[in-house]
């Protein structure tokens, strides 16, 4: 690896896909990748919100494309990747961010409820990775967004969510060992801690203050930008020797 910090962390000339980019962390990933120079395709089911993300990126001088797709459908994943690859003239980065969290007691969770979470959080990431790897050149980067709850618990009944996010870590390792030697594609995961997004707005009163914050060494939630900046690093030449790893960004929660 050679270069200066100004070049090693830049993504100029590269094309990226970010799934789940209609809200929350997905928007932050898309905006920061674009700010680092990447052309970005944002993928989700909510077209109007995708277009808002695109407008924000373009307002800041970036290049973005909205692609409406449901990542639970392998055919839609292949179509989304094909469109992004065509319109952005390549594909070098995939951020598998699309996901859903539920809190259902295990004795009451139905098979359909459990499968719905796994289908989106785990299977959707796999289908997008499959489609993307087929067209990515050597040197590309896939980043799977897992969760701190893949490594610890948070006093909520989240069997489906934690199982799906833990499975992403195994998927990350396996794809890294398959695609590193054969395709030159790096595959890593980020395990974010608690971040203030739409997903956390529904917590019951007092839960954060009494259960979560006391376990975070830094004493606060993280920001979407703090998570997304790790994604920019993993996508950049600065992380060119990093693959098969899970980067935990949790304010110290998992060591308490």
Write out the catalytic residue numbers: 161
Provide CB contacts within 8 A for 167, sequence distance 6+: 118, 122
- Asked if residues 17 and 84 have their Cβ atoms less than 8 Å apart, the reply is yes
Residues 17/220, Cβ–Cβ less than 8 Å: no
Q: To which residue do tokens 């990933």 refer? A: 29
Contact call for residues 71 and 100 (beta carbons, < 8 A): no
User: How far apart are the two ends of the chain, measured CA to CA in Å?
Assistant: 35
Residue 40's nearest CA partner among 245, 249, 228 is 228
Q: Whole-angstrom Cα distance, residue 66 to residue 46? A: 10
> What is 205-234 written as a DSSP string?
TTHIIIIIGGG-TTSS-B-HHHHHHHHHHH
Closest CA to 34 of 50, 48, 20, 18: 18
- Cα distance between residue 133 and residue 24, in whole Å: 25
Answer whether 44's CB lies under 8 Å from 98's CB.
yes
């Amino acid at each position: 690896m050679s270069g200066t910090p100004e070049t090693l962390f830049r993504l100029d000339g590269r094309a990226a896909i970010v799934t789940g980019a209609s809200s929350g962390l997905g928007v932050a990933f898309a905006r920061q990748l674009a700010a680092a120079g990447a052309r970005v395709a944002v993928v989700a089911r909510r077209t109007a919100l995708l277009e808002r993300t695109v407008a924000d990126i373009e307002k800041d001088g970036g290049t973005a494309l909205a692609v409406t797709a449901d990542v639970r459908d392998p055919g839609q994943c292949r179509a989304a990747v094909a469109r992004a690859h065509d319109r952005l003239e390549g594909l070098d980065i995939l951020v598998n961010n699309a996901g859903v969290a539920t809190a259902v007691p295990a004795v009451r969770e139905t098979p359909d409820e459990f499968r719905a979470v796994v289908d989106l959080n785990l299977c959707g990431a796999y289908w997008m990775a499959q489609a993307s790897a087929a067209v990515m050149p050597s040197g590309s980067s896939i980043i799977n967004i897992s969760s701190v709850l893949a490594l610890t618990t948070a006093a909520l009944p989240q069997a489906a969510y934690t199982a799906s996010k833990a499975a992403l870590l195994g998927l990350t390792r396996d794809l890294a060992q398959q695609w590193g030697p054969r395709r030159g594609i790096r595959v890593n995961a980020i395990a974010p801690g608690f971040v203030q997004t739409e997903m956390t707005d529904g917590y019951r009163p007092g839960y954060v203050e009494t259960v979560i914050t006391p376990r975070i060494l830094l004493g606060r939630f993280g920001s979407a930008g703090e998570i997304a900046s790790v994604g920019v690093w993993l996508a950049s030449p600065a992380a060119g020797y990093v693959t098969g790893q899970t980067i935990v960004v949790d304010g110290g929660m998992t060591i308490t």
